[in-house]
Amino acid sequence: MKSKESQTVIDPTTEEKIRIAARKVFTQKGYGAARTRDIAQEAGINIALLNYYFRSKEKLFEIIMLESMQGFIHSISGVLNDEQTSLQEKIQILVSNYIDMLTIQPNLPLFVLSELRSNPQELILKLNFKEKLIHSHFFVQLQQAIQEGKIPPIHPLHFIMNIMGMIIFPFIGSPILKNIGDLEEKTFNELMQQRKILIPKWIEAMMNVK
């Protein structure tokens, strides 16, 4: 006689319903405050069924965050390879899109950092960001600008580190920044929106773009 578990059929609709619910709950409450019960209630199922599909809150969070990161990288591939936009225009679009994503999913940077510490090679392989960046039109434009003397002859990674650092750090350090500035969530998000304009200007100034 087959066990109850072996008779349970994986339903793609239920699985997707759980993913959508988890994404909503994690976004609203953050990983720490989100409970398995909250996700199950949002999905309209019981906790036992949620655990059958995803085993734990940790596993579900990992899947949702990885999907979000893969989706974002896929979405910016079009920006990186747009031959109609300049290097400066690409930076403006990338900064704007990245800030929008992190405003919606502020847990993502900490998830990526955690995975880079525990499973660096696995995350790198899953995201495949190196290939998407190195072979992009963005990278060609960057190298060309350096060769033509429009940007000082520095390693291209300095360029990438500056962009990523100025975007990501405020979200990672948000508890400290909110405390120092006595900022509510709304005010903090307004500051992040202002950085869409400020960061591209700072990047151009630092790189002495001609």
Domain spans in the chain, listed from the N-terminal domain onward: 1-55, 64-207
Q: What is the pTM of this model?
A: 0.77
pLDDT of residue 210: 56
Please check whether residue 148 is in contact with residue 176, taking contact to mean a CB–CB distance below 8 angstroms.
no
Taking 80 as the threshold, does the pLDDT of residue 56 lie above it? yes
Residue 168 pLDDT > 50, yes or no?
Answer: yes
> Cβ neighbours of residue 25 under 8 Å, at least 6 residues apart?
34, 38, 39, 42
Average pLDDT over residues 163-190: 95
Identify the CATH number of the domain defined by range 1-55. Answer: 1.10.10.60
CATH number at 64-207: 1.10.357
Percent share of the chain, pLDDT over 70: 93
Residue labelled with tokens 């209630």:
41
pLDDT by residue (tens digit) across 101-147? Answer: 999 888 888 878 877 787 788 778 878 888 888 889 999 999 999 89
Cα separation, 57 vs 50, in Å, equals 9
pLDDT category at 11 given cuts 50, 70, 90 is low
